[in-house]
């Protein structure tokens, strides 16, 4: 996808398009998009469109990818709890809701 190739992920419209595209992409393309977005999951939750995209990333990722997202969030939990941005809370709740019961280390 051109959005990923040119790294236009910081734009709200790009996040909106990616959240719609994730639902309709072929499995192979979907995996490429997820591979690109997983390391950037903390950056996604700055605005509403990014939060929607984060939800799609969590929904379409597997248990191992979700565990990676949790490990990425782990050092920032205190900052998320003090943040005036409610998107951080919602993202954390979504992540905890979809997490399976494996041990996080």
Residue 67: pLDDT over 60? yes
| Contacts of residue 81, Cβ cutoff 8 Å, sequence gap at least 6 | none
pTM: 0.84
- Residue 2 neighbours by CB distance under 10 Å: 8
pLDDT digits 0-9 by tens, 6-60: 777 788 888 898 899 888 989 998 998 899 888 888 888 888 998 999 999 999 9
pLDDT at position 86: 84
pLDDT at position 103: 58
pLDDT at position 54: 93
pLDDT digits 0-9 by tens, 80-89: 878 787 888 8
End-to-end CA distance of the chain: 34
pLDDT at position 102: 60
Q: What stretches of 1-105 show up as alpha helix (H) in DSSP?
A: 2-5, 12-24, 27-37, 41-44, 48-60, 63-73, 77-82, 86-98
């Amino acid at each position: 996808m051109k959005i990923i190739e040119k790294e236009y992920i910081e734009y709200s419209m790009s996040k909106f398009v990616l959240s719609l595209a994730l639902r309709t992409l072929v499995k192979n393309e979907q995996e490429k998009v997820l591979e690109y977005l997983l390391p950037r999951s903390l950056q996604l939750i700055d605005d509403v469109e990014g939060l929607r995209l984060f939800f799609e990333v969590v929904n379409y990722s597997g248990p191992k990818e979700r565990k990676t997202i949790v490990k990425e969030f782990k050092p920032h939990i205190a900052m998320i709890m003090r943040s005036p941005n409610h998107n951080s809370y919602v993202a954390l709740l979504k992540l905890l809701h979809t997490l399976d019961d494996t041990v996080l280390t």
